[in-house]
Amino acid sequence: MSSPDHRINAGPWIDGHLDLAYLGVGGRDLTRPHTDPASGCISLPELRGAGVTTLFGTIYTEPEAPEVPWGYSGSADREAAFATGKRQLDLYHQLADRGEIRLIRSAADLDRAEPVPGVVLLMEGADPIRSPDDVAWWHERGVRLVGLTWALGTRYAGGNERHGSLTDEGRELVRELDRFGIVHDLSHLADAAFADLLEVARGPIVATHSNCRALLPDRQRHLTDDQIRAIAARDGVVGLNLFSVFRTRKDRATIDDCVAHIEHVCDIMGHRRGVVLGSDMDGGFPPSRLPVELDHPRHLDRLTAALKGRGWSEEEIAGFRHLNWQRILNRVLA
C-alpha cells in the first residue's frame, strides 16, 4: 500500500527497542547521520529528525560469538559476558557525558525538555549479570529493563531458538530484578521460560519487540494469543518489531502487514492501550529488510497514517506513538 508521507498530530515517538550500543561498538558514529542508506538508517540525528524523543537503548550481547565486539564465548564465561555488556553500558554513559543523549532513570527524567533523545537502558540477554548479586550494580548505573535471554538462551532461561525453562539461578535473578523494580522484557523467551517467569515474577512485564504467532505461526520468537492476554492482564505492552521476516513470508513486509499485527494484539487484548513501537531498526539487518515504505525512522508517520485510515482516533494513535509506553514508564520509574 502507499500512505501519505505526512505527520499525524499526535505527539512524539517512543521506540521501545533500538540496538544503539551494538551499532556503536561495531564502529558506527551514532552522533552523525549514517552515510550509507543501504546498510543502515539509525543515528541520533536521524532519530531526532523523526521525532523520536525517547528510546530504549539495548545492551545486547551475543553468546558463542567471541569474534565480534558485542559477543562472548558463552554463558559459562561470566566475566567475559560482564565485560562485553559493560563496554556497551560505558558507551551510553560516554554519550550522556558529552550531551548527545540523556539517561532516563526516574519518572522525573521523562519530563525534562531537552533537545537530545532520552534513553532508557534495556539489557537484552542477562548473561552480563554475573549473578543475582550484580543486579544492584547494574540498576545503580541505569538499567531499568532486563530480558533474561536472546535467541540462544542463557544460564538463566531458554530462548526462542534454544528452548528451555527458567533455571534455578534464573528464578533467583527474577526475584532480585523484582526487588529493584526492574521491568521484565519477555521477548526472546522460550515458551517454557515465559510461563515460568509469569509464575515467579511479581514486577511489571512487557515484550519490547515481539509480533503475533497467530499470524506467523512457525516459531517461538512470536507471542501466542495466550501470552498476549497474560501481558494485558498485568497491564503490560507489546512492541511492534519491524523486521520483515517477523511479519510475513514474502521478501518484504508492507505497512498493511504491520497494521495486521498491531490490530491482532489489540483484538486479543480487547483495547488499544497495550500496543507500542519496538522497531529494532538496524538490529542486525539492513533497511532492505524493513517494510516497504517504512525503511527509515522519518517514515514512521506513514504507519500512523495507516492506523488513522483504519479508524483509529488521534488519542489511540498518540497511545501507540508514545502514551502507552509513557504509562508504563511513569509507573515503573516512579
C-alpha 26/C-alpha 69 separation (Å) is 6
pLDDT value of position 7: 47
Terminal-to-terminal C-alpha distance of the chain: 41
- What domains does the chain contain, in order, with CATH numbers? 13-332 (3.20.20.140)
C-alpha 319/C-alpha 238 separation (Å) is 12
Q: What is the DSSP string of 130-150?
A: -SGGGHHHHHHTTEEEEES--
Beta 52-60 vs 13-18: how paired, if at all? parallel
Give tens-digit pLDDT for 242-263.
999 888 878 899 999 999 999 9
Burial class (CB in 10 A: 0-12, 13-18, 19+), 112: exposed
- Confidence class of residue 1 from pLDDT cuts 50, 70 and 90? very low
Give tens-digit pLDDT for 24-74.
999 999 999 999 999 999 999 999 999 999 999 999 999 999 999 999 999
C-alpha 115/C-alpha 99 separation (Å) is 10
Give tens-digit pLDDT for 154-170.
999 999 999 999 999 99
Burial class (CB in 10 A: 0-12, 13-18, 19+), 325: buried
Q: Phi then psi for 21, rounded to 5 degrees?
A: -65, -35
Task: Map residue 50 onto helix, strand or coil.
Answer: coil
Check pLDDT > 60 for residue 6. no
pLDDT value of position 2: 36
Average of per-residue pLDDT across 210-232:
95
CB 69 within 8 A of CB 86: no
Residue 158 Cα to chain centre, angstroms? 18
Query: What percentage of the chain has pLDDT greater than the value 90?
Result: 91
Please tell me the pTM assigned to this model.
0.95
Give tens-digit pLDDT for 95-152.
999 999 999 999 989 887 788 999 999 999 999 999 999 999 999 999 999 999 999 9
Task: Map residue 304 onto helix, strand or coil.
Answer: helix
